[in-house]
Structure 1
């Protein structure tokens, strides 16, 4: 029995942008308020410790006020909190446990972020938003072969939001349906059975990203991308077996074989944005899948599959944290925002749960504001360490008087990256429901998955291991040639090695940046997509991060943000 998502258990890319599918050689995957607004400075009083002398919840004391607001793109590593402090913030986040949407660990992380942002003098507002929460509690798999021998089968992970069983599980004959496509079910009756299906993982190279890049840094790195494994289960390419199809044909549960090595398959929270399917499903790795098929080849196989979970309608909070500036620059001579696309997949906020702050005024933005976004839910120290990075940005920029900051900064922390659109209000729909924010935002910066090192199993042909190189970082840009050139310039100035400035693909920017982009807001994103991205693992995958690289990536964001703040027109 495994327990890694139960809130009481300690260890229990590209976001919702569509699935990277093969198309001419590619397919890409695509409140209550804590208010402390200060009209003259971001921190009350500017840059000093809190008046009662107390420290923040992480044990640190805010640094003093800074002088000499930096010229665009001149921030240095010494200007930010140091690498050790940023690392400790990442450890603190991971220490809550996997922040699966709506879990106690997730709520603790949100509370912690809110308190610390307020401690830096930002106006923090909580916005409760509906959530159909699903949290697995326990799971196991046992089979009995044709000779009556019982075998316990190690489970790699459960399939999120797949379904639930009673505590005793469900017991039924095992039927192999191969890929689990519609023709497979027509050939093989499965009514009342537990189906065994393949969860294939497309063997891709990093050239799928290089093909979308306007710039790769250093340029000579582009040619080597074809030799880098980019097989990623979270891309859902090809799509994992359809649970709806299996259920429609009468199956009572599914065992899905993830074609990954055991170490890489373990704990994979995939697919991470699935609607509830009412068909409990467990993942096994490639070795256990071969074992099950070997047992089936010898005779009938009966399985008892257990997956207990809780389901409930609840709310979870978006956080906004406002750091006011001196006012927007002069308006641009003509609007530059692209028309907002009409998409059936971007619903307006529904009355199923509150999406507006209660008990506090909405943030009052000056036109020309910059939105800085990430999300709070995640499985490990990578997913999502945008929170600690944004804390470092908030801490740095709050040290200067508001008169020095040309624009308002609004930090947005969404709580629902790891659920389907049907289960919540996604950031694009949420922003559409908050015109007082959206109408005053001139541009956006989204940050995810910093400091990652590359690990792979060579497309399933070798042991899972570190490659010795950093994970390729992508900097997608949409709706602004000015921002694209700015991003390329800063990649070069920061010498951001193993990075690629990408064009949009399939109406997305590969992660949280997709949501402002879909609303026509000029957006820069920063995101990497390692193989272990959505993996719940002992140690929270901290061993796969590099603390110096985490700090360097955060510095890049600070320098980039300073350039965005200094742009001379309201909209880029």
Structure 2
């Protein structure tokens, strides 16, 4: 399938568009930077002669403005670099909070020893969770035989699964928490905005890398004091919005939903809106069979406020789906969405920690993880890759009620989807260069063209040919169960031992 992108976009134009996006600043949910990016996107769509529609929202927004950690012992006073603030943790006064540090050797239970102290807790890299728990590969890839790592790991996975329960620390009377990354390269975790899935915790917390964290641990074991400063703002009525536009089809009754989100941390998270502008520009003058709805949601980085189980789950698109059933649920007088495309995280180079412990580029293309809603959608995806020069991909089926990215609400609502959710370690990093050294505009261009091909193939098929959504699989291998059970027993034994030592009965 030939796609003429003349006067639509090019690698050079996409590079400029991404740089324009970066110029607004870090686009966390409800920030001025995000609002300006949304304004820009809408103006670009209006310039194409297309109307946009908006869902404004207000929510409580937290933002860190200053962070500092100073340790004081008998001999010296010194500052320890902070890798990042723990999002939506808490705040301190301008002078910070000063208290004795205590090493929490068993997070959660160990907070019982942290009353009126600053808790120091190590967060081990997630390395015991078999990938089979979260992912079901469809046994198809380019190159052939490409597989996910055997165990689910990395900064995002670690922060989402192994994060310290700050609310327990607060209930125990701790004044603050210092989280120490353990087992992850120091350069890799610098500036990580993680985890972003929690509501406001009410206790200040920061992340420190492994090297600097070792000094913090040593001082905590000596009972040294520290001053932790985490200043921030809380806007109880922060403004943000989701918006969408519609390309009418020649036939009535059916729709295709193309979605992404507008909040993000860097040039990769989230550049999906830039690709969708090119898709709209290409498709707007084509004779489309179905109504096409392009949805730009907000709230991906504030999921506690922007999710609705009625709209298909825990991702931000679920709120939009709940509010706009007439675009997709197929009930009387409503459109029936026969397919969806989720456009996220394009143009990712592969950066990993190598065998020498150096965090560097290790491949041209980060693994393109793609969920496909059924066999036909899987076929369409691989057909769209023909003539690609840069491709390194495999496909997944939603598994064990897990489906990452903004394609999940579509899948949960029974809409067969193709959802790109590449997951580089830098995905949630806030940095001065916006992670542009990890971005490839040519790859983003090829992926954008692939999405256009997918859409045209979908639009050429009947709903019956596309077929229904597969639904979640639930497969557990014997080894997976044995490994997970052994780890759970080990952790339970350690916790039980700690409780016995602490409790007075």
Per-residue displacement from partner, 1:251-295 (whole Å, max 9, x unpaired)?
A: 011000022333212110000111111011010000011111223
Instruction: State whether residues 12 and 441 of structure 2, in contact with CA within 8 Å, keep that contact through their aligned partners in structure 1.
Output: yes
Q: Secondary structure at the match of 2:65?
A: strand
Instruction: State whether residues 146 and 393 of structure 2, in contact with CA within 8 Å, keep that contact through their aligned partners in structure 1.
Output: no
Instruction: State whether residues 179 and 241 of structure 1, in contact with CA within 8 Å, keep that contact through their aligned partners in structure 2.
Output: no
The equivalent residue for 2:283 is 397
Instruction: State whether residues 131 and 423 of structure 1, in contact with CA within 8 Å, keep that contact through their aligned partners in structure 2.
Output: no
Aligned residues, how many?
450
Q: Which segments of structure 1 move beyond 6 Å, counting only runs of 4 or more?
A: 204-207
The equivalent residue for 1:466 is 361
Matches within 5 A, 1:376-525: 376-400=262-286, 404-422=287-305, 426-439=316-329, 440=335, 441-458=337-354, 462-478=357-373, 480-491=374-385, 494=388, 497-525=391-419
Structure 1 residues 301, 106: CA separation in 2 closer, same or farther (over 3 Å shift)? same
State the 1:506 CA deviation: 3.4
State the 1:247 CA deviation: 1.1
The equivalent residue for 2:204 is 280
Gaps of 5+ in 1: 1-72, 329-366
Per-residue displacement from partner, 1:372-403 (whole Å, max 9, x unpaired)?
A: 00000000000001010101101111233xxx
Instruction: State whether residues 133 and 314 of structure 1, in contact with CA within 8 Å, keep that contact through their aligned partners in structure 2.
Output: yes
- Structure 2 distance, partners of 1:210, 1:280, is 31
Asked if residue 317 in structure 1 is aligned to residue 213 in structure 2, the reply is no
State the 1:308 CA deviation: 1.4
Instruction: State whether residues 354 and 362 of structure 2, in contact with CA within 8 Å, keep that contact through their aligned partners in structure 1.
Output: no
Q: TM-score, normalised by structure 2?
A: 0.84
Asked if residue 81 in structure 1 is aligned to residue 81 in structure 2, the reply is no
State the 1:548 CA deviation: 0.9
- Structure 2 distance, partners of 1:309, 1:384, is 24
In structure 2, which of residues 119, 123, 140 is the aligned counterpart of residue 216 of structure 1?
A: 140
Instruction: Answer 1 or 2: which has greater helix percent.
Output: 2
State the 1:424 CA deviation: 6.3
State the 1:547 CA deviation: 1.4
Instruction: State whether residues 65 and 231 of structure 2, in contact with CA within 8 Å, keep that contact through their aligned partners in structure 1.
Output: yes
Which is worse superposed, 189-198 or 483-492? 483-492
- Structure 1 distance, partners of 2:206, 2:134, is 34
Structure 1 residues 486, 220: CA separation in 2 closer, same or farther (over 3 Å shift)? closer
- Structure 2 distance, partners of 1:78, 1:508, is 39
State the 1:534 CA deviation: 0.3
State the 1:322 CA deviation: 1.1
Structure 1 residues 491, 301: CA separation in 2 closer, same or farther (over 3 Å shift)? same
The equivalent residue for 1:120 is 48
Q: Secondary structure at the match of 2:121?
A: strand
- Structure 2 distance, partners of 1:206, 1:530, is 18
- Structure 2 distance, partners of 1:504, 1:511, is 11
State the 1:445 CA deviation: 0.6
Matches within 5 A, 1:7-18: none
Q: Secondary structure at the match of 1:421?
A: coil
State the 1:433 CA deviation: 2.1
The equivalent residue for 1:177 is 104
Per-residue displacement from partner, 1:380-431 (whole Å, max 9, x unpaired)?
A: 000001010101101111233xxx1111111100110001324666321331
- Structure 1 distance, partners of 2:130, 2:25, is 31
Q: Secondary structure at the match of 1:293?
A: helix
In structure 1, which of residues 220, 233, 250 is the aligned counterpart of residue 155 of structure 2?
A: 233
Instruction: State whether residues 262 and 287 of structure 1, in contact with CA within 8 Å, keep that contact through their aligned partners in structure 2.
Output: yes
Matches within 5 A, 1:271-310: 271-297=195-221, 299-310=222-233
The equivalent residue for 1:129 is 57
Structure 1 residues 100, 181: CA separation in 2 closer, same or farther (over 3 Å shift)? same
Instruction: State whether residues 137 and 396 of structure 2, in contact with CA within 8 Å, keep that contact through their aligned partners in structure 1.
Output: yes
Q: TM-score, normalised by structure 1?
A: 0.74
Per-residue displacement from partner, 1:99-129 (whole Å, max 9, x unpaired)?
A: 0111100100010001101111222112102
Instruction: State whether residues 5 and 282 of structure 2, in contact with CA within 8 Å, keep that contact through their aligned partners in structure 1.
Output: no
- Structure 2 distance, partners of 1:321, 1:159, is 35
Structure 1 residues 226, 103: CA separation in 2 closer, same or farther (over 3 Å shift)? closer
State the 1:485 CA deviation: 2.8
Gaps of 5+ in 2: 309-315, 330-334, 468-505
- Structure 1 distance, partners of 2:18, 2:266, is 10
Matches within 5 A, 1:142-157: 142-147=70-75, 149-157=76-84
Asked if residue 103 in structure 1 is aligned to residue 46 in structure 2, the reply is no
Matches within 5 A, 1:360-379: 367-379=253-265
State the 1:303 CA deviation: 1.0
Instruction: State whether residues 257 and 285 of structure 1, in contact with CA within 8 Å, keep that contact through their aligned partners in structure 2.
Output: yes
Per-residue displacement from partner, 1:330-380 (whole Å, max 9, x unpaired)?
A: xxxxxxxxxxxxxxxxxxxxxxxxxxxxxxxxxxxxx21111000000000
State the 1:468 CA deviation: 2.7
